[in-house]
């Protein structure tokens, strides 16, 4: 072979060699990219971080768009005891003095975990490496923790629900659990709408753990939950809280409930529930009075959740059933009138303060009247008059009428735990029941149920007598204002009842003006007072000298915009002794003040002439 | 020694091929590096967005707490006596015309 031939051969071999090398390298690159070996693929997987992208929960807004509850992130402090430097006392001391932790609580958690770890390690188990020491810290505290840089002390981010609604309308709003899911109140009722859909992000990290890139399809954007506009008006709720607190304290009562509604739409504008700790002034729940001690019983069932969080307790406006007493007469009076068995001007001989029914049951009145018209029976809240008239109506008709008003069924608000109240079934409807129901005994109602039913008296024109559907979300503006949901009595009967109830408020206003010389009222109102007795579960009969006093009212008389019910649970013994415990004394002033302030806030023009309106019919 | 006339051509072709391959590889590496940098920047931007969103959530809650009726009442009380809005806009304008400060304040709340 010539030299040229050898050189050409060498060149060809080089070309083939280099080409082969390039092909091998290309093949290796392709293999590494598409199907790395087991060891390498594990290494690549370890370099991929996945983290959830939290979708914010929808806001709860009031009817005017003010935020009641919204999501935010907060940080909690936890420690890894295996990395915590010794001595532990010093670490705890730094956290307590500089971050402001509760020494006993944090100490108990930390040293409890350390002791547990000793036992676990001795048993050959892995030690616990996560010990939460605090709840959500404020921003300043979190910054201090970061600045301390103590090994083994970490912060973790959590989503929390916060906002002004918690303090003002906690029972309505409810609360979410640790997984950010609605657990109580509106948070639970509207969970499907409020909850968002969490996203995720997977990214490849470099050797130092810093993010390098995101592969296609490795990011899923979070979808935020939808906001819900509740029917609650924060300003009216604020007024309600202030006035109910005042009313409960003035009455030295064990608690109070309040509901404000828009009678046209059925929207709940305010819902308030207060429970007062009477301490030693009342016998604890479930116990009977002992000789020599107080005889005042605790009539509100205990609610341990309430002390944990305002939103975790019962919303007593929908869960606690009470005997309405005379406020119920507005409804039974209308049903009897609608039955056509009595005229408004028919005179009943009510025989003073006592009368005996056809089956021999004695009935008593607080204010004795020898005779009164059917209209005056409602104004005077006469048990005798109601008992006489109800004998003309069949029990079936009475029960059916009350069912139409919505008694004995939930209002459909959707608040978890709402009770149906109690309307005796037909088979248990005795003569005795028939009489008792006419003046609000032997029945049980919730505050929301009674307020919703009363809306039928507060509607205008031919809509009077039509009950709205109670709702906790703001009514859409496109909803027809004259939608007939449930006609309960003819409009003329509802209007007659309203006129009679305006006279009741006139009397009360005069009493209030006599007590408070400076009292001036801008709006003519109408309403009905009630004082129910209390019976406790597992016991027969009523508790002596303890009552549930209530008042349901609406205004302004000429074009009602608001309905307000106030229930004062167990007015104090001093008031009972002076016979000032009745709904007219303890609940009516609260209704008056709430309606006066709320109507002014809504910009409702004052009533033209309060006195002349009420006496128009 | 005399070189084969074809060997020079092959060598040149080989050199061109190697250089071209090297340049292509360098270009590919540079594009890949740019892609990594862009993805990295994207992740950083995303993280900043998430952080800013968290700040936004916190601020929204704080604003909500500062806008309660109680708080507004306090602010209004501290701002001095206020006149209720009258139904007639003209009368309102007249009432506010006396005080430029009140006029400004009113426009803030509109």
* pLDDT tens by residue, A344-377: 999 999 887 788 998 999 998 887 888 999 999 9
Residue A220 pLDDT = 87
Whether A18 and B18 lie within 8 Å, measured CB to CB: yes
Whether A8 and B14 lie within 8 Å, measured CB to CB: no
Return the number of CB contacts < 8 Å for A and B. 87
Q: Which residues pair with A513 in a beta bridge?
A: none
pLDDT average, residue stretch A585-591: 94
Question: Three-class SS string for A559-571?
Answer: CCCEEEEEEEECC
Contact A268, A259 (CB under 8 A): yes
Give chain B positions within 8 Å (CB) of A14.
Answer: 14
Nearest CA in chain A to B16: A15
Whether B69 and A235 lie within 8 Å, measured CB to CB: yes
Query: Quick check: B100 pLDDT over 80?
Result: no
Contact A232, A172 (CB under 8 A): yes
Residue B6 pLDDT = 62
* pLDDT tens by residue, A311-345: 888 899 999 999 999 999 999 999 999 999 999 99
Q: Measured between CA atoms, how close is A201 to chain B, in angstroms?
A: 10
Reported confidence tier of residue A609, pLDDT bands at 50, 70, 90: low
Partner residue facing A66 (CB), from B3, B53, B64: B64
Q: Measured between CA atoms, how close is B46 to chain A, in angstroms?
A: 10
Q: Which residues contact A124 (CB under 8 A, 6 or more apart)?
A: none
pLDDT average, residue stretch A509-527: 83
pLDDT average, residue stretch A543-567: 94
Whether A211 and B6 lie within 8 Å, measured CB to CB: no
Tokens representing A340 are: 């056509």
Q: Which residues pair with A568 in a beta bridge?
A: A256, A549
Whether A4 and B7 lie within 8 Å, measured CB to CB: yes
Residue A612 pLDDT = 46
pLDDT average, residue stretch B15-30: 91
Residue A616 pLDDT = 43
DSSP state letters, A380-446:
HT-HHHHHHHHTTS-HHHHHHHHHHTTTTS------TT----B---GGG--HHHHHHHHTT-S-BB-
Nearest CA in chain A to B13: A15
Contact A69, A187 (CB under 8 A): yes
With a pLDDT cut of 90, the percent of chain A lying above it is 48
Whether A213 and B36 lie within 8 Å, measured CB to CB: yes
Question: What's the rounded Cα separation, in Å, for the pair A526 and A566?
Answer: 14
Give chain A positions within 8 Å (CB) of B40.
Answer: 210-213
Whether B64 and A67 lie within 8 Å, measured CB to CB: yes
Selection from A376, A560, A596 nearest residue A454 by Cα:
A560
Give chain B positions within 8 Å (CB) of A8.
Answer: 4, 6-7, 10
Helices and strands: H and E segment counts in chain A: 22, 19
Give the mutation candidate from A2, A32, A168, A203 for the B interface (greatest B CB count, under 10 A). Answer: A203
Contact A469, A487 (CB under 8 A): no
Whether B44 and A211 lie within 8 Å, measured CB to CB: yes
Question: Three-class SS string for A449-501?
Answer: HHHHHHHHHHCCHHHCCEECCCECECCCCCCCCCCCCEECCCHHHHHHHHHHH
Partner residue facing A7 (CB), from B3, B21, B40: B3
Query: Quick check: A157 pLDDT over 50?
Result: yes
Cα-based torsion angle of the residue sequence B70, B73, B75, B81 in order, rounded to the nearest 10 degrees: -160
Residue A484 pLDDT = 64
Question: What's the rounded Cα separation, in Å, for the pair A239 and A168?
Answer: 10
Rounded to two decimals, the ipTM of the complex is 0.72
Contact A555, A518 (CB under 8 A): no
* Cβ neighbours of A615 (radius 10 Å): 10
With a pLDDT cut of 70, the percent of chain A lying above it is 96
Whether A238 and B65 lie within 8 Å, measured CB to CB: no
DSSP A197: B
Question: What's the rounded Cα separation, in Å, for the pair A452 and A455?
Answer: 5
Reported confidence tier of residue B97, pLDDT bands at 50, 70, 90: very low
CA–CA distance from A541 to each of A211, A442, A537, B51 (Å)? 73, 11, 10, 62
Question: What's the rounded Cα separation, in Å, for the pair A579 and A268?
Answer: 33
More confident of the two residues B39 and A591: A591
Reported confidence tier of residue A1, pLDDT bands at 50, 70, 90: low
Between CA A341 and CA A558, with CA A323 as vertex, the angle to 5 degrees is 60
Nearest CA in chain A to B18: A18
Query: Quick check: B4 pLDDT over 80?
Result: no
Partner residue facing A7 (CB), from B4, B39, B63: B4
CA–CA distance from A255 to each of A445, A568, A587, A589 (Å)? 17, 6, 12, 16
* pLDDT tens by residue, A53-112: 888 899 999 999 999 999 988 888 999 988 888 888 888 898 898 888 888 888 899 899
């Amino acid at each position: 072979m010539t030299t040229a031939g050898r050189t050409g051969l060498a060149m060809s071999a080089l070309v083939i060699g280099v080409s082969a090398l390039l092909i091998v390298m290309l093949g290796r690159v392709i293999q590494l990219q598409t199907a790395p070996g087991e060891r390498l693929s594990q290494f690549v997987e370890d370099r991929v971080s996945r983290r959830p992208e939290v979708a914010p929960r929808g806001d709860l807004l009031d009817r005017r768009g003010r935020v009641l509850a919204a999501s935010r992130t907060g940080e909690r402090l936890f420690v890894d005891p295996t990395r915590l430097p010794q001595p532990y006392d010093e670490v705890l001391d730094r956290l307590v003095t500089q971050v402001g932790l509760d020494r006993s609580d944090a100490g108990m958690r930390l040293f409890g975990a350390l002791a547990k770890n000793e036992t676990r390690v001795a048993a050959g188990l892995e030690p616990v490496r996560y010990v939460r020491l605090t709840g959500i810290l404020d921003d300043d505290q979190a910054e201090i923790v970061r600045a301390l840089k103590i090994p083994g002390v970490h912060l973790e981010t959590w989503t929390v629900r916060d906002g002004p609604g918690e303090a003002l309308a906690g029972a309505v709003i409810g609360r979410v659990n640790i997984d950010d899911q609605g657990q109580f109140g509106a948070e639970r009722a509207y969970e499907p709408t409020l909850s968002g859909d969490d996203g995720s992000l997977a990214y490849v990290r470099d050797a130092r753990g810093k993010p390098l890139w995101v592969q296609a399809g490795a990011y899923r954007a979070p979808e935020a939950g939808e906001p819900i506009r509740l029917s609650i008006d924060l300003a009216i709720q604020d007024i309600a809280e202030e006035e109910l607190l005042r009313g409960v304290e003035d009455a030295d009562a064990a608690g109070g409930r309040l509901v404000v509604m828009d009678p046209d739409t059925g929207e709940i504008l305010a819902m308030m529930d207060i429970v007062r700790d009477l301490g030693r002034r009342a016998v604890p729940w479930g116990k009977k009075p002992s000789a020599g001690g107080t005889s005042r019983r605790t009539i509100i069932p205990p609610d341990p959740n309430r002390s944990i969080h305002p939103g975790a307790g019962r919303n007593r406006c929908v869960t606690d059933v009470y005997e309405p007493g005379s406020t119920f007469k507005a409804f039974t009076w209308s049903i009897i009138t609608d039955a056509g068995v009595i005229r408004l001007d028919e005179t009943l001989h009510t025989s003073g303060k006592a009368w005996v029914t056809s089956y021999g049951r004695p009935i008593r009145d607080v204010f004795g009247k020898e005779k009164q018209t059917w209209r005056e029976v409602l104004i005077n809240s006469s048990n005798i008059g109601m008992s006489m008239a109800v004998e003309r109506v069949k029990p079936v008709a009475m029960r059916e009428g009350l069912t139409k008003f919505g008694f004995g069924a939930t209002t459909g608000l959707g608040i978890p735990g709402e009770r149906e109240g109690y309307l005796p079934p037909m088979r248990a409807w005795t003569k005795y029941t028939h009489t008792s129901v006419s003046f609000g005994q032997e029945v049980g109602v919730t505050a929301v149920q009674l307020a919703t039913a009363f809306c039928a008296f507060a509607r205008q024109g031919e809509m009077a007598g039509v009950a709205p559907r109670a709702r906790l979300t703001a009514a859409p503006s496109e909803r027809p204002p004259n939608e007939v949901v449930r006609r309960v009595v003819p409009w003329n009967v509802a209007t007659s009842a309203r006129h009679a109830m305006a006279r009741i408020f006139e009397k009360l206003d005069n009493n209030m003006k006599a007590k408070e010389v400076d009292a001036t009222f801008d709006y003519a109102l109408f309403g009905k007072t009630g004082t129910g007795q209390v019976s406790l579960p597992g016991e027969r009969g009523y508790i002596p000298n303890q009552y549930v006093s209530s008042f349901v009212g609406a205004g302004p008389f000429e074009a009602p915009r608001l309905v307000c019910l106030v229930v004062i649970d167990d007015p104090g013994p001093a008031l009972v002794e002076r016979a000032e415990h009745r709904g007219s004394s303890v609940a009516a002033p609260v209704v008056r003040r709430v309606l006066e302030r709320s109507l002014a806030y809504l910009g409702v023009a004052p009533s033209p002439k309060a006195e002349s309106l009420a006496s128009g019919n | 020694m005399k070189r084969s006339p074809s060997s020079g051509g092959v060598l040149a072709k080989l050199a061109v091929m190697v250089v071209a391959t090297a340049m292509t590889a360098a270009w590919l590496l540079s594009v890949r590096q740019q892609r990594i940098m862009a993805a990295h920047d994207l992740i950083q931007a995303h993280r900043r967005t998430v952080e800013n969103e968290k700040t936004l959530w916190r601020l929204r809650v704080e604003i909500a707490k500062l806008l309660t009726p109680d708080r507004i009442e306090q602010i209004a009380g501290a701002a001095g006596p206020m006149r209720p809005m009258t139904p007639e806009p003209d009368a309102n304008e007249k009432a506010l015309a006396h005080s430029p400060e009140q006029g400004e304040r009113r426009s803030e709340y509109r």
